[in-house]
Amino acid sequence: MDERRVISNVCILAGKIMLESGAETYRVEDTMNRMAGAFELTEAESYATPTGINFSTDSEEASHFRRISKRSTDLHKIAEVNNISRQIVAGGLDPREALLLLKGVSSSKEQYPSWLLILAAALVSGSFAIMFGGLWHDFLPAFLAGGVGFAAMIGFEKLVETRFFAEFFASFVIGILAVGFLHFSIGINLDKIIIGAVMPLVPGLHITNAVRDLMAGHLVAGVSKGVEAMLTAFAIGAGVAVVFAFI
Amino acid sequence: MILAQCITSFIAAAGFGILFNAPRNALIQCGLVGMFGWLLYYILVAEGIDVVPATVFAAMLVAVLSHICAKLYRTPIIIFNVSGIIPLVPGGIAYDAMRNFVENDYFHAVQLSAKVMLLAGAIAIGLMFSEVVNQLFRKSWDWLKP
């Protein structure tokens, strides 16, 4: 491979990892341009959207394209890519070394086991029930419903390809559990329990990121992320509403 | 009461740090940033200030604290402000709005959706504002230096 090809692979892989980990598009483009600039490709242009990246090293070269199909939030990977890009800008890495490091980051596993994620989701749910004005009686049901709901989300995500349905089923489970707990008079405020329990699923971060992208002038990315967030919120609302329809 | 808010907001922010796969040694800082942001918001709202300006100020505080943490620990700022902002994010209202939509109560649903948009905008303004101040500070520093 010639040098330019390697450099554009480095930039695109870095952008891909960042987008898949939930970084804002303006940050992604900024990082890619900085890396290209450090490799003395000052004419490089990048264009990132939540579903794909375009990158060209020069106006006379062919541009490269990469599709982004899976998106989640992974701060560890963003930090690692940022670290590598800083090393590149400081001049400490040549393109081939950088490519190897980035491939390592791309294939790295999650650092927390599933049970810890579920426990964290459960604690978050219980805490939010209190923060939104619930009583301590609501902590336990929100804790349980949130943990089971998040576990259901992880399970359904493996079974069904569409994230929408996984979210729908998970919030359906949460709704049933919350109503069930209240039936056996564990907990007092149904609304607080459900809001607390769905918080780990709610796309709060996407809503905020969408507005930040819009303000940074990335209109396509901002609008599409906003729609994604609305779709998720709709899935969650619908899942709970199905339960309410039956009681 | 305020102690309970401290503990729960700390757990919520640090817990979201785990869900977002934040680096292990940053979890405590994430929790603290989230806790201080939520405390400011909680106190302002208790003092009778509207939720939107309260969110702007709390988001500014989160952004400033995240900047300090990012400088201290030499990590990208996104790690701290993403989990720190979580307690302020209007997820509960977004859910409430959607529930009203699917229950055919459009009157309340539209009201709540507008509130969600305003709050999301308030968070973004708060976060952006501190970045702008930081840039201004740096640029005026460069400019003042001969």
State the smallest CA–CA distance between residue B145 and chain A in angstroms: 24
Which are the contacts of A86, defined by CB distance < 8 A and separation ≥ 6?
none
Contacts of A132 in chain B (CB under 8 A): 92
Percentage of the residues of chain A whose pLDDT score is greater than 70: 99
- In this prediction, residue A150 has a pLDDT band, given cuts at 50, 70 and 90, of very high
Q: Which of B23, B87, B127 lies closest to A76 in CB terms?
A: B23
Query: CB A211 to CB B121 under 8 A?
Result: yes
Contacts of A128 in chain B (CB under 8 A): 8, 12, 92
Contacts of A78 in chain B (CB under 8 A): 76, 78-79
Q: How many beta carbons lie within 10 A of that of residue B20, not counting itself? A: 23
- Residue A188 is predicted with a pLDDT of 82
Domain-by-domain residue ranges, chain B? 2-144
User: Which tokens hold the place of A81?
Assistant: 């890519």
Contacts of B5 in chain A (CB under 8 A): 130-131
Number of A to B CB contacts under 8 A, please give it. 153
Q: Which of A73, A136, A199 lies closest to B20 in CB terms?
A: A73
Average pLDDT over residues A133-139: 84
Which one-letter DSSP state was computed for residue A67? E
pTM of the predicted structure, to 2 decimals = 0.85
What is the rounded distance in angstroms from the CA atom of residue A221 to the CA atom of residue A209?
A: 10
Q: How far is CA B32 from CA A157, A184, B11, B45, B75, in A?
A: 31, 36, 9, 20, 16
Q: What is the pLDDT of residues A171-215, one digit of tens each?
A: 999 999 999 988 888 878 888 888 889 888 877 677 777 888 888
State the smallest CA–CA distance between residue A121 and chain B in angstroms: 7
Query: CB B120 to CB A123 under 8 A?
Result: no
- Residue A216 is predicted with a pLDDT of 81
Which are the contacts of B138, defined by CB distance < 8 A and separation ≥ 6?
none
Alpha helices in chain A (DSSP H): 3-20, 25-38, 75-89, 95-107, 114-131, 139-159, 163-183, 190-198, 204-215, 219-246
Contacts of A117 in chain B (CB under 8 A): 18-19
Contacts of A111 in chain B (CB under 8 A): 21, 23-24
Cα dihedral A244→A161→A65→A105 (10° resolution): 100
Q: Which of A79, A127, A208 lies closest to B89 in CB terms?
A: A208
* Helix (H/G/I), strand (E/B), else coil: A74: coil
Query: CB A75 to CB B9 under 8 A?
Result: no
Cα dihedral A110→A114→A117→A118 (10° resolution): 160
Comparing B110 with A97, which gets the higher pLDDT?
Answer: B110
- Residue B146 is predicted with a pLDDT of 61
Query: CB B86 to CB A205 under 8 A?
Result: yes
**Closest-CA residue to B75 (of B29, B31, B36, B35):** B29
What is the rounded distance in angstroms from the CA atom of residue A100 to the CA atom of residue A109?
A: 16
Contacts of B38 in chain A (CB under 8 A): 131
ipTM for this prediction = 0.86
- Residue B45 is predicted with a pLDDT of 92
Q: What is the pLDDT of residues B83-99, one digit of tens each?
A: 888 888 887 787 788 77
Q: What is the pLDDT of residues A41-62, one digit of tens each?
A: 888 888 988 888 988 888 777 8
Residues B77 and B130: beta-carbon distance below 8 Å: no
User: Which tokens hold the place of A238?
Assistant: 């619908």
Separation of first and last alpha carbons in chain A: 64
- Residue A124 is predicted with a pLDDT of 92
Q: Which residue of chain B comes nearest to A175, CA vs CA? A: B99
- Residue A120 is predicted with a pLDDT of 93
What is the rounded distance in angstroms from the CA atom of residue A171 to the CA atom of residue A176?
A: 9
| Residue of A211, A214, A240, A244 to mutate when probing chain B, most B C-beta within 10 A | A211
Query: CB B79 to CB A75 under 8 A?
Result: yes
- Residue B11 is predicted with a pLDDT of 92
Query: CB A202 to CB B128 under 8 A?
Result: no
- Residue A237 is predicted with a pLDDT of 83
Domain-by-domain residue ranges, chain A? 3-107, 114-246
Query: CB A127 to CB B5 under 8 A?
Result: no
- Residue A1 is predicted with a pLDDT of 57
Give the H or E element holding residue A53.
strand A52-56
Alpha helices in B47-90 (DSSP H): 51-73, 78-85
- Check whether B46 has a pLDDT greater than 80: yes
User: Which tokens hold the place of A98?
Assistant: 């950088």
Query: Sheet of A45-49: strands edge to edge?
Result: A45-49, A52-56, A64-67
Q: Which residue of chain A comes nearest to B10, CA vs CA? A: A127
